[in-house]
Structure 1
Amino acid sequence: MTAENAEEGTRLDDAAAMRLLRGGRLEVAGRLIEATNMTLYCTISAGEQVAACVYKPVEGERPLWDFPDGTLAAREVAAYEVAVATGWRLVPPTVYRDGPFGPGMVQLWIDADPDADLMAVMRSRQPALRRMAVLDAVINNADRKGGHLLPLPDGHVYGVDHGVCFSVDTKLRTVLWQWKGRPLSREAVAVLVHLDQELERGRLGRRLRELLTAAEVEATWNRVRRLLDTGIHPYPSGDWPAIPWPPI
């Protein structure tokens, strides 16, 4: 995934995008009014490098009954860290940093394919979506809507809006149930084995403990081990609505 310089037409790889997100100058250009929490469209710059990004300040988070106040930005960063550990690059580069309205989540803006049919995308069985379904099961995503999928012209799909993830309670709610009960792919099993190791004694476990509670990290590890034990994509639990509303 790359970030494009608005003036020069140059592109940034993920490592360069992360450096820009961490240290660049953040300027608010507008607000995404359809978002539930304060979500600001920004430019971020350092020297000649310029990119678009999304900034969600903690102060703009609405209280939720089932997630502690002021934790959504950190959960978004935690989802990115898990995505990086999978090697699938399903979440755009994301950091936690200070901004014009205080600390919050800053994420590289992705220009999705404007011609993509989201209903068709979210019902498809393309590999990127199957990987996304595994990621969502690991992070316990409570709100995977079709509008949170960003398909690209080359067939890759990114996922965004991961503020309501990592609950210790089973809350998986998604539009990606195409594979429920199906055996996990060999690729997914290999990734889950890697996540198991990373959560036990690797960088991922250490990083998640900086962003989440100990109980939430333990629950994440338990979900990984449960997926490995069952060897299948999970079924809806029956204790929680299986599909978010609205689904888009």
Structure 2
Amino acid sequence: MRVRAARLRGVSEHASNVTPPGRPALDPADAGGLDASDALTLLGNGEITVTGRLVEASNTTLYCEISLDGVSGRCVYKPVRGERALWDFPDGTLAGRERAAYLVSEETGVGIVPPTVLRGGPFGVGMVQLWIDVDETVDLFALTRSDDPQLRTIALFDAVVNNADRKGGHLLPAPSGRIYGVDHGVTFHVENKLRTVLWTWRGQRLHADEVELLTCLREALDGSLAGTLAGPLTDAEINGLRARVVRLLTERRFPTPSGDWPAIPWPPF
């Protein structure tokens, strides 16, 4: 997959410093014409038909067709029973963490995580996420080394949710020009677990709009968002999320690698 250097330069030179807040969670051009509202209704209530499996995924990841009242789409279904046991995350919690990541993405208005629900399916309860079409001309390696402002926003989002596995392949450059982030199963740990290929902005000062975004998130966590997250996350994990937001607001800088934990996931792509 390749992207022309001019394309990367054009994005960096003409876009704003941060992803515009409040943008929809989904561009219909990236998901077969569905908007975010219709996608959530379809994902939450549609009939799921498994048609394939993403064999390179570490956990059971199924490619599915989903339909409801004449509306159809494609989705990824990750049943809880197919989650691989991890030494540092409780068993059976990865699907819920993916849902929680979507909720935080929606609350902040950054539109990073595609519409995601937690529901029953052919193999039991699991995470169901709308399938995003990918622009196959984009070179992911070149993209991750660019200063695309959308990646800056994703890097900040990862610091907030404590993403332990931001690989290059977990970035989806879509036909609309948007970049989505997926595979958020190992997030929200109470200990610092940040591992990412997006360290371009390490130590840099936050922009005013990023501070505003974090301030709004802190206020939401003091309000109804904490209750919404109480389903997929524990109280300790919600408190950890709040503490990370407060720390980012206090330091007003992107985090730097801690040295206590590998900074980059393996493999990175």
Same fold (TM over 0.5): yes
Q: Which residue of 1 aligns with 2:19?
A: none
Quote the offset at 1:153 in angstroms: 3.5
Q: Deviation digits for residues 93-124 of structure 1, max 9, x if unmatched?
A: 00000000000000000011110000011111
Partner Cα distance (1:115, 1:122) in 2: 14
Partner Cα distance (2:256, 2:27) in 1: 35
SS in structure 1 opposite 2:231? helix
Partner Cα distance (1:211, 1:76) in 2: 9
Give the counterpart of 1:168 among 174, 190, 197: 190
Q: Which residue of 1 aligns with 2:257?
A: 236
How does the TM-score come out when normalised to structure 1? 0.96
1:61-140 matches, cutoff 5 A: 61-140=83-162
Matched, 1:17 2:39: yes
Partner Cα distance (2:208, 2:71) in 1: 40
Contact 1:4 1:51 in 2 (8 A): no
How does the TM-score come out when normalised to structure 2? 0.88
Contact 1:140 1:171 in 2 (8 A): yes
Report the count of equivalent residues: 244
Partner Cα distance (1:183, 1:152) in 2: 28
Contact 1:3 1:17 in 2 (8 A): no
Quote the offset at 1:187 in angstroms: 1.5
SS in structure 1 opposite 2:222? helix
Give the counterpart of 2:230 among 180, 202, 209: 209
Quote the offset at 1:152 in angstroms: 1.9
Contact 2:78 2:126 in 1 (8 A): yes
Partner Cα distance (1:147, 1:48) in 2: 32
Contact 1:5 1:49 in 2 (8 A): no
Quote the offset at 1:4 in angstroms: 7.2
Partner Cα distance (1:200, 1:144) in 2: 27
Moved more, 180-189 or 91-100: 180-189
Q: Which residue of 1 aligns with 2:75?
A: 53
1:147-158 matches, cutoff 5 A: 147-158=169-180
Query: Which aligned runs of 4 or more in structure 1 are off by greater than 3 angstroms?
Result: 2-6
Q: Deviation digits for residues 60-79 of structure 1, max 9, x if unmatched?
A: 00100000000000000000
Partner Cα distance (1:224, 1:28) in 2: 38
SS in structure 2 opposite 1:184? coil
* Unmatched 5+ stretches in structure 2: 1-25
Q: Relative to structure 1, is the Cα distance of residues 70 and 109 closer, same or farther in structure 2, using a 3 angstrom cutoff? A: same
> What percentage of residue pairs aligned between the two structures are identical?
57
Quote the offset at 1:2 in angstroms: 4.1
Quote the offset at 1:90 in angstroms: 0.3
